[in-house]
Chain A
Amino acid sequence: MSTTDASSTPLLEVSDLVVHFQKGGGFFSRKGKTTIHAVCGVNFTVNEGETLGLVGESGCGKTTTGRAILQLEKATSGSVKLNGLELTTLDREEMKHIRRNLQVVFQDPFGSLDPKMTVGRSIAEPLEIHKEWDKATGNDRVGEVLNLVGLNPKFAARFPNELSGGQRQRIGIARALIMEPKMLILDEPVSALDVSVQAGVVNLLADLQDRLGISYLFVAHDLSVVRHVSDRVAVMYLGKIVEIGDKVEIYSAPQHPYTQALLSAAPLADPIKERRRKHIILTGDVPSAAAPPSGCRFRTRCWKAQDICASEEPALKIQNGGHQVACHFPEAVEVL
């Protein structure tokens, strides 16, 4: 993976991003509206040619963050900049031009392709939308991009129902690539696939990045896949980033208790190591995003929690290890 240049402006810059949803409270509803605090002030950058892994468990706001970057979800406040250009204030037509450089691959390989369109038409759709479809060269471009993702160009004439999950996911990647974007949001791109198929898609994504220099925001819950593909990793819990930094530091010396619990819970496919290592078993469940706890959001399940954790929210700041941690009592612990 290519090296990053710290002095240049980042390709993607997310600052203080907040996304709230209103739930319930229709005209005839007796219950009042509740506000779901899905994303609560998230900051990160993605440099050119880099992969940032965004991990967390369901409901932590990682997918919503991805959607808010894509402007598929309206940000309540905060800013999303691509190449220095603010996206949250653009209208639909202006955003359309940005979308050539900002593409997405969805989790569900069975739902993300229109079942009534041939694979070729699905892949060519971005060309049509951006008025670049050319009868003479269009089919060749589709063929090239199919080749690029490791599929026979003859698949262009097929319908999605004839393809396996892995093949469909490759089609989804091909569609995202045809406009030659700079930034790709990958929303759980392999979690619906069987392991042997998953490996092929992970390798493909790595190869594409090497060749094309695209940046990835890799949103996933699977810590091992994130470790494999990412340069840097951000860990989310209840709408906030609790720890962010270089992959090696996060995995070998995690400082936030939640990151430690998460890593220790991920099973290792090695019986001797897996049985020997210490497991941190968290108690209780993730609190509701409608009423997040005061102070540190992890304190209700944290074994280190003190009074200060309830009264004061820990800021995300650089700790000894050199990466950012949002904890009052950070401490590097080896859990793997």
Chain B
Amino acid sequence: MPEPIIEVNDLRVDFPSEDGTVHAIRGVHFDLFPHEVFGIVGESGSGKSVTSLALIGLLAKSATATGSIKLNGEELLGKSEKELTPYRGKTIAMIFQDPMTSLNPVYTIGWQITEAIQAHQSVSKEDAKKEAVRLLEAAGISQAENRMESYPHEFSGGMRQRAVIAIAMANSPQVILADEPTTALDVTVQAQVLDTLKVALRETQASLVLITHDLGVIAGLADRVAVMYAGRIVETGTVEDLFYRTAMPYTHGLLGSIPSVDDTGQERLRQIPGAPPTMVGDVQGCPFAPRCPLRQATCFEVEPELVKVTNSESSAFHTSACHFANDVTLMPAASMFTDTSSADESEKTI
């Protein structure tokens, strides 16, 4: 197995709030290998975005982060803003949901790409400009030469996101971090941008951390996936592990709750009863237990660790944080989350 680029170990992030300390992330572990697309899925409040912000040191000042984030063996957590600057844009490039968070409205697109190139490479202005035009073309923006002089507001949402991808490609990063890069876009534009993202990966040979709530996007792009719930990774594995050998009831629920564009039946969607826990205070037992159709007494007492799934077809990467992981892989999806499950216990444990 190749050496991982990023190693995250026991990452924990707390925020103070009016109601007490919010445990946004409660011990996240994962490795990112070269040339892979690693998807992180979860619903709002699961901690997926906080994880990405922690990776590049952009957490709010009030947050406290512990654990370890290693980039090529070097510890990033605890580094100052100044010490992190050389990595941002160079080793790790970022793409956010709203392209305007990374584009400056008062400069032309061309200026911003040129600036990004010159920030980390010692090349002449002329060469940087040529490279910028090439990057815009690679990102699928037609008439790139003319578009260099445009301002961000003159671009459509999809074009802005592609310009951001061009900037991300500028310094051939090892890692591209994309947090809901297509969530704000229409489906046909989303397809364009995802296509551009694939081009960027081919061009830079970077690994991609793709954070999204959309399992369809994951299915199309990711090699490995982590599912987050209540501040932890509850299942991880290859996309095939996750979609075809699901080993965690929550993942089952997520997969069952989305209608498919190719489903012909009038089958009811499977709904997960209740709501995710608020992350204030301590967790006892499995945070999904109150909503889980398989819950047993032990689920409310012991929080399951992320352990390897020993199903014969599962890959070596397949892990699940469920006391009954191996049983779950054998269960047909339809047998879970039928309408008789009850919701009244939710939100009591936390």
Contacts and interface: CB of A to CB of B under 8 A. Distances in A.
A251 B156 CA distance: 29
B43 A196 contact: yes
B261 A166 contact: no
Given A197-B275, A199-B258, A281-B192, A228 B187 contact: no
A275 B270 CA distance: 25
Given A195-B213, A221-B186, A261-B188, A268 B262 contact: yes
Nearest to B260: A224
A268 B218 CA distance: 9
B152 to A, nearest CB: 15
A228 B263 contact: yes
Given A57-B186, A200-B271, A251 B192 contact: no
B216 A267 contact: yes
A57 B264 CA distance: 23
Contacts of A228: 259, 263, 269
Contacts of B259: 199, 202, 224-225, 227-228
A269 B44 contact: no
Interface residues of A, number: 48
A35 interface: no
A274 interface: yes
Given A57-B186, A196-B272, A269 B257 contact: no
A270 B219 contact: yes
B219 A221 contact: no
A4 interface: no
A85 interface: no
Contact of B195 (A202, A221, A281): A281
Contacts, number: 129
A266 B190 CA distance: 9
Contact of A267 (B158, B219, B271): B219
Contact of B260 (A58, A166, A265, A270): A270
A93 interface: no
B217 A267 contact: yes
B262 A336 contact: yes
Interface in A208-223: 221, 223
B257 A196 contact: yes
Interface of A: 1, 57-58, 164, 166, 194-200, 202-203, 206, 221, 223-225, 227-228, 248, 251-252, 261-275, 279-286, 336
Interface of B: 43-44, 142, 156, 158-159, 186-192, 195, 213-220, 239-240, 243, 253-264, 266, 268-273, 275
12 contacts: A164-B275, A166-B275, A195-B257, A199-B256, A202-B259, A224-B263, A265-B188, A267-B219, A268-B262, A272-B240, A279-B195, A336-B261
